[in-house]
Structures are given as structure tokens and as C-alpha cells.
Structure 1
Amino acid sequence: MTGSRAVVVGAGIVGAATAYALAREGWRVTVVEASAAVGQGASAANGGQLSYSYVEPLATPAALRALPGWLLNADSPVRWRPRAAASHWRWLGGFVGACRTAQVRCTTEALLALSALSRATLKAWLAEGLAAPSLQHRQPGKLVLYRHASARPGVERQLAWQRALGCDQRVVDAPECRQIEPALPELITRSVAFGVWTSSEEVIDGAALTRALVTASGADCRLGEKVVGFERRGDRVVGLRLAGGSVLAADQVIVAAGPDAAALLRPLRVPVPIEPIKGYSLTLPVRQAARAPQVSITDAARKMVFARLGPVLRVAGFAELVGHDRALVPARLAALREATNRLFPGACDLDAAVPWAGLRPATPDGAPRIGATRWRGLWLNVGHGALGLTLAAGSAARLVAMMRADDVV
């Protein structure tokens, strides 16, 4: 809508995709971000995988059964620090409720549809001129390693169900895992019971994509400016109040503020059930290319992912429900180093690792919240959890379609 002003709150991958999608529709876009640069939150150093076929939410019956063991094990991939906030306990109650099989199936089906839209949308955007070597975009496929044969029947049932929804995946035995990724040591494949191979999965540098989208949108970036409230006129949101006291007028406001969205929206009584789930990563220079993986690897038991992004290997993992704590915990980083050295010995310069920890905005059921609110002129694109990179383009496309249907676009 030429001449109309849309303001996007948040300059992570979801906000960047939203800004780009709106600019393509003719909007004048402003992006407001509390950080001093674009893509400094969960988009800064995430796992790098575009996992279009792996969208099952964290809340599942299997996760609920495993939860006591996870919480009692100090080295568990999942960690929880209880907080007194009522919203925290409501979220946990919602999470437990979302672990029902019927709910998981419903959520997974919705996420697969959104991921298919995201794949098609990002492909179109890259063809429009976004593609660049700096994005490190490839389609190497993804191999998920399972350590216990007892998991195979359940995995096969899941793949059969997803196949009916358009996912082309297959179970492979341990020797074929090594054929798919020769960098896996023979010793490791002896401990692997089976794998799941998805040849269509992709990788991309999320931070580079975030910057490219914001730049290509032509948005006016208000970096280092924190939104502290909303300007309202009747039942309509007409602008934002910034920390410095200024007011930023807008015809439409889209909140894509990740883990900060719930607190920002609370004064408007817009309920957004989001908890930050902390993850860690290492970015490791590749020292011996032949020993580093080419395909994406996921270690299912340890909940770690390995993605080759050109000259570096991105290793990411863990899920911690610890509030807004972004501290780099040495034991977690050491575990990522140890896992890398075990799976791909000699591949990377472990001493030159760049560590990172960030917060992924998760809803109890794993489904993002996209669309209108009770306030005219205020829209949501939040709650993507660990799937922000995968779902960002599709979420932006869906939001713009909703705005178009509402005669806003």
C-alpha cells in the first residue's frame, strides 16, 4: 500500500522477513529494534538448518515421559529453573496439555503446511535477487542419528504419517549413514542404531539472511531504540512510544519482538503465551574439510545439530527454560566442543570457537501466533521457538495475506 507506514517491532529473522514482505506490497516500512544492530537475538548464531520436514513441537508425549529424567540429570539437554511468575506456570500448564497425541498431530500438520509455504516463499525471494554467496545457502540434506533401536517403530510411524503430508524421508541403517556422510567416523556409526535421511533439507546463515532482508526491504531502521508502549486512539493502535520519549506514528504495527513480545503486549491485554527457551551454539572454523560434514547432522539423543556454513561449522543445542538469562555457561559450551570432536575429530579449530547463547520465543504448543489482535492496526508474528529461521518467510507471507484479506494491504 504505497504511502502507508508499517512499523515492525523487532529486527530478528521474523521481523526482517515481515519487513521485506510488506515492502514488496508497497508499504513504507520502519523497523524498530532495541539492539544496536540487526539480528542480534536468536538470529545471530542459530543452528543454520532450514528444517522444513522436522517441525514436530517440543511438547510431545515422549517429551513428557522423558521430562523427569531430563530434569534430574545435570548433563541433560533440557533444563528448567522454576520462576514465581504466574505466566510461567500458565505456560507450563499449557505445555503439559499440548503433549496430547491429538494436539501434537494437529500442531505438526499446521507447522508442515507453514513450512511448505516458507520453503516456496524463500525460494522466490532468493530468485528475486536476495541470493548471495554470503548467505551460504545450500541443499545438502539432513541426517538425523538415533542411538537406540527401540525408537525405530515410533519414528517409522511418524515418517509414514508425514509422508502422506508431502514429506519425502526414509529410515537408513548405520552403514548407509556413513555412506551419506563419509566424515562420520566408523566408531561413531557403530553406536548408531539407525538414521533418518531427508535429501531436500537446506542450510543458510540466519544472521546474513536477516541483514539481507532488512537491506532489501529499504526499511528505515531505528536501531538501539526500545519500544515502551503504544499510542492508541479508541480501539486502534496508531503508533509506538519509544524509551527516549518520542512517538513513532504508524498506520499498522506488527510485533515481531521474539521473547520480549509478551511483556510488551501485556498492558494492551493481548495474551501471548511465550517463554524464552535458551539455546547455545559454537561457530567453528573448518580446519580439515574432508573431516567436516557436508550434510546437516542432528544427534537426536543429545538434541544437537551440526550445519556446514561454508568455511565454518555451526554446532547448536540444548533447551533451557531459565527466563531471560543469556549467560554463556562453560559446561554447555564444553559439551558442544566435546560432541564436535567426537563426531568429527580434527575437522575444526576448537580453540577458535565463537560461542553464543540466545533465547528462542516458544509457545506451549509450538505453534507461532500470526495475525490480528483485538486492537485495530496491531498484528502479531511471534512465538516461533526453534523454528524461526525455517518458518520466517512463510510466516511473513501468511501475515501479509491476512492483512490483505482485512483490506489493510
Structure 2
Amino acid sequence: MKHVCVIGAGVVGSATAMALAREGFQVTLVDAADRPGQGASRANGAQLSYSYVEPLATPAALRQLPGWLLSRDSPLSWQPRWQLSHWCWLAAFIRACTQARVQQTTEALLRLSFLSRDVLARWQREAPAEQPLGVQVRQAGKLVIHRDAGKRDAAQRQVAWQARFGCRQRVLDAEACRRQEPALAHDRAPIAFGIWTPDEAVTDAQQLSQALATASGARWRMDTRVAGFVQRDGRVHALRCVDAGRPDREREIEADAFVVSAGPGAAALLQPLGVQLPIEPIKGYSVSLQVANAARAPQVSVTDAARKLVYARLGERVRIAGFAELRGADLRIDPRRIQAMLQAATDTFPGAFQTGDPEPWAGLRPSTPSSRPLIGATRIGGLWLNTGHGALGLTLACGSAWLLSQLMQDRTPSIDAAPFSLAG
């Protein structure tokens, strides 16, 4: 049985362990945290947005970029770093902001997202009765509300275009939005129109990470920091690791193949090998609020397109997430961001939440310039990638994992892998 070591136990790495184990591989799962799902998966937006995979790099984003960067309260902020890789990433991002590239990337990501939806459903369905997957995935549907009526024609065109690839979406007027989500009846800002997608779902990414890692039967090596790789004859043969309890003692983990799913740390990890990954850490924020008034809290997933915020109902809590900051690996929480989310939640759903203990969180999304993840082999023998999913890690995790498991067995998958290669 071939032994594969997966580096990174977030939702992508844990899904990779699951996919490989189902194909008969022996799997070791390595992470610096004490349990799976503690990095970018810990408290992200919780939305499985299968029909909302348009890349961050678009012509509209490029036009808005100067205004965003000059505004203190913009949903996007940037702090220049004097590193060549940072400026190369920005240049590639700008090159990706063409309509042709956006359509190509969106089509490829839609294929991968629908695959991901089907793979997760299959794993849930085929889990043994005595050992269910143990995580709730709720098909809540998603309502994107728009405040600007001038954007309706463009939104209608996007809905019509995405219908060609299997997306089921409807454009709603303001009153229909409130019928779909009655809690919006109390919204203090006007709604111009909305887009309803019934197939979208919600789940807690941290819980899903732990459930997949457990169900995989992988051997866990938590509290383990990867210090480097051992190479011989052009192949990777082992990881050099340091245990949290013994920082002065290095040990090795040998395997037949290694998969890097280390989130924003993947680029630095592979740089000593001469593998340059086009990944930037983009910081996002979230707060998790207890529901105070169920009648005023949303049941469906809601995205406020104007404020760039998402709302996902997780039992008696609501996860609110948003913002994008290109500031390197800085994980400090800006209190202005948290206050902006709390104010938006109060304005959109007044009286719905307990805001006294908001559970603030920030995480780093490993983002490529085009928003296409890196899935497949590197030029170094035995070294594979499944990383760079940006804000779509939760949505794309299971499909990416299945795709990689097929590529690692020299199989031609039913989905075209080319858009997700390092070259892409």
C-alpha cells in the first residue's frame, strides 16, 4: 500500500486525506496545530457557494481598485511589501482582469465546485451507519442582495450565462427577496434586487475538517511543524519535522509521496526546493454571534453585495464574514473591521443577534492571482500540490481532493485538470 503524507490539516488537507484513503492509500496527516481545522478553516464564512466562484480578479474589480485602496473603510486594503514575489503576484492579478480570463476561470471553477458538491454528498451517503461523517451540511439556499439597481442588467446576464453550466438561479425584486428571507423585512437599507440560488449550502469548516480527518483513518501528526524536506535523486523522500513538545529535536517522516495543502504557508515551505508558488495570503475576518430573536435572524445564507459581507446560519449562531486585506502574514485583528461587521449586522437584521460577545476571528486565505487552485504534480518527484484555493477552500475542498487522488494514480479524471495545474 502506497504511503502518502499530507501537509496541512485544514479543510483541503483533511479532504485530501479522505480522498486518498478511499482509494486505498495509507495516509499520514501533518499539521502544526493541535487538531485539524485550526488555520484558515477555523471560523471562515461557512458558505458552500457552488454557483458563486467568480474570481477576485475581474475588470470591475480593477476599475474599483483605486477607490478601494484609498478608502479607509474599503472592503479591500493593501499594504505594499518590498518582495519580488508580491509584485509578481500583483502583476499577474492585473493580467487576469480581462473578461475572457474571467469567463474561462469561472467555467473551470464551476465544474470543480459541482464536482465538490457531488463528492461530499457521496462521502456522506456512503459513510457506514456505525460511523457517520458526523457534520451537518444544510442546504439553506443563498440570497445575494444588491443595493444598486444599476447592476441588475449585468447580474441578469451573469445568471443567464451561468445557467449554461447548470446553475439554477433567479433574479428577484426587493419584495420577493423579503418573501424568500422574511428577516430582511427589517433591513434599514433599501434593497434594489437579489439573486436566489436554492442549491447552496452551509457547514462549519472546522467541524468538517475534523470529521473528514477522522473518517479518513489517517495517522495524525498534530503539533508538528515541518522544517523542510529530505531529497535524494530528484525526489522527496521525507519531511524534516519538529514536535511542539521537543523544539530542540528534529525527526523525519518518510513516505512514498507528499501533498502540500499548507494554505498560505505553502509558498515559503517550497521555496527552498526552488518551487515558486504564486500564492498571496489574503486576510479575511469573521464574527460568530448567538441568535437573540429567531424571527429576525436569517435562515437562508445571505450575501450583502454592497458591503461584501456574508451571513451563514449555523444552528443557534450566525457566522458573518468578509473583507480582504493584502498585508502579508499579519493576523492581527483590526477592531474597526469587527465593528463594521457588527454595525452591518445590526442594520440588516436589527434585534436578531447578541452582539456583546462577537467571537472575532481573522484567517489567511491562500490566493493565486487568477483564483485557480494549484492541483497536481510539481517538477520534483513525489511532491504534489493541493493548495491556493483562496476564499473558496470550503467550497472546492472535496472536489479538489478527489481530482488529486485520480491524478496521483495516473488516471484521466472526468474533469479537465489543466486549469488547476501550476502552469495555469
How would you bin the TM-score normalised by the shorter chain?
A: over 0.9
Listed one character per residue, the Cα deviations across residues 354-409 of structure 1 (whole Å, up to 9, x for unaligned) are 110000000000000000110111100000000000000000000001111169xx
Identity %: 57
How far residue 4 of structure 1 moved from its aligned partner, in angstroms, is 2.1
Conserved? CA contact 2:133–2:212, under 8 Å: no
Conserved? CA contact 1:328–1:357, under 8 Å: yes
Residue 346 (structure 2) pairs with residue 341 (structure 1): yes
Conserved? CA contact 1:185–1:343, under 8 Å: no
What is the match of residue 61 of structure 1? Answer: 59
Give, as a single letter, the amino acid of the residue that structure 1 aligns with 2:173.
D
What is the match of residue 121 of structure 1? Answer: 119
Give, as a single letter, the amino acid of the residue that structure 1 aligns with 2:5.
V
Task: Summarize the alignment of residues 151-190 of structure 1 with structure 2, pairs less than 5 Å apart.
Answer: 151-188=151-188
How far residue 133 of structure 1 moved from its aligned partner, in angstroms, is 9.7
How far residue 307 of structure 1 moved from its aligned partner, in angstroms, is 0.3
**Cα distance in 2 for residues equivalent to 1:55 and 1:280:** 19
Listed one character per residue, the Cα deviations across residues 307-344 of structure 1 (whole Å, up to 9, x for unaligned) are 00111100001000010011111100011111111111
How far residue 129 of structure 1 moved from its aligned partner, in angstroms, is 2.7
Conserved? CA contact 2:367–2:390, under 8 Å: yes
Between 149-158 and 329-338, the greater mean CA deviation after superposition: 149-158
How far residue 185 of structure 1 moved from its aligned partner, in angstroms, is 2.8
What is the match of residue 198 of structure 1? Answer: 197
**Cα distance in 1 for residues equivalent to 2:33 and 2:207:** 16
What is the match of residue 401 of structure 1? Answer: 406
Between 287-296 and 131-140, the greater mean CA deviation after superposition: 131-140
How far residue 255 of structure 1 moved from its aligned partner, in angstroms, is 0.2
- Over the aligned positions, Cα root-mean-square deviation in angstroms equals 1.4
**Cα distance in 1 for residues equivalent to 2:364 and 2:126:** 31
Give, as a single letter, the amino acid of the residue that structure 1 aligns with 2:61.
A
TM normalised by structure 1 equals 0.96
Gaps of 5+ in 2: 243-248, 413-424
Give the 3 Å change call, closer, same or farther, for CA 348–133 of structure 1 in structure 2: farther
Q: Secondary structure at the match of 1:39?
A: coil
Gaps of 5+ in 1: none
How far residue 221 of structure 1 moved from its aligned partner, in angstroms, is 1.2
Give, as a single letter, the amino acid of the residue that structure 1 aligns with 2:169.
Q
Conserved? CA contact 1:136–1:310, under 8 Å: no
Residue 214 (structure 2) pairs with residue 229 (structure 1): no
Give, as a single letter, the amino acid of the residue that structure 2 aligns with 1:228.
A
Conserved? CA contact 2:187–2:350, under 8 Å: no
Give the 3 Å change call, closer, same or farther, for CA 361–349 of structure 1 in structure 2: same
What is the match of residue 268 of structure 1? Answer: 273
Between 248-257 and 226-235, the greater mean CA deviation after superposition: 226-235
Q: Secondary structure at the match of 2:284?
A: strand
**Cα distance in 1 for residues equivalent to 2:98 and 2:367:** 18
Task: Summarize the alignment of residues 280-299 of structure 1 with structure 2, pairs less than 5 Å apart.
Answer: 280-299=285-304
Conserved? CA contact 1:304–1:317, under 8 Å: yes
Listed one character per residue, the Cα deviations across residues 70-102 of structure 1 (whole Å, up to 9, x for unaligned) are 011100000000001110000000000000111
**Cα distance in 2 for residues equivalent to 1:60 and 1:149:** 20
**Cα distance in 1 for residues equivalent to 2:342 and 2:132:** 30
Task: Summarize the alignment of residues 10-409 of structure 1 with structure 2, pairs less than 5 Å apart.
Answer: 10-129=8-127, 135-188=135-188, 191-243=190-242, 244-405=249-410
Number of aligned positions between the proteins: 404
Give the 3 Å change call, closer, same or farther, for CA 345–186 of structure 1 in structure 2: closer
Between 169-178 and 262-271, the greater mean CA deviation after superposition: 262-271
Conserved? CA contact 2:11–2:393, under 8 Å: yes
Conserved? CA contact 1:136–1:309, under 8 Å: no
Give the 3 Å change call, closer, same or farther, for CA 133–289 of structure 1 in structure 2: farther
**Cα distance in 2 for residues equivalent to 1:275 and 1:395:** 19
TM normalised by structure 2 equals 0.93
What is the match of residue 2 of structure 2? Answer: 4
Conserved? CA contact 1:178–1:186, under 8 Å: no
**Cα distance in 2 for residues equivalent to 1:311 and 1:259:** 31
Q: Secondary structure at the match of 1:354?
A: coil
How far residue 113 of structure 1 moved from its aligned partner, in angstroms, is 0.4
Conserved? CA contact 1:8–1:18, under 8 Å: yes
How far residue 224 of structure 1 moved from its aligned partner, in angstroms, is 1.4
What is the match of residue 417 of structure 2? Answer: none
**Cα distance in 2 for residues equivalent to 1:371 and 1:123:** 23
**Cα distance in 1 for residues equivalent to 2:6 and 2:117:** 22
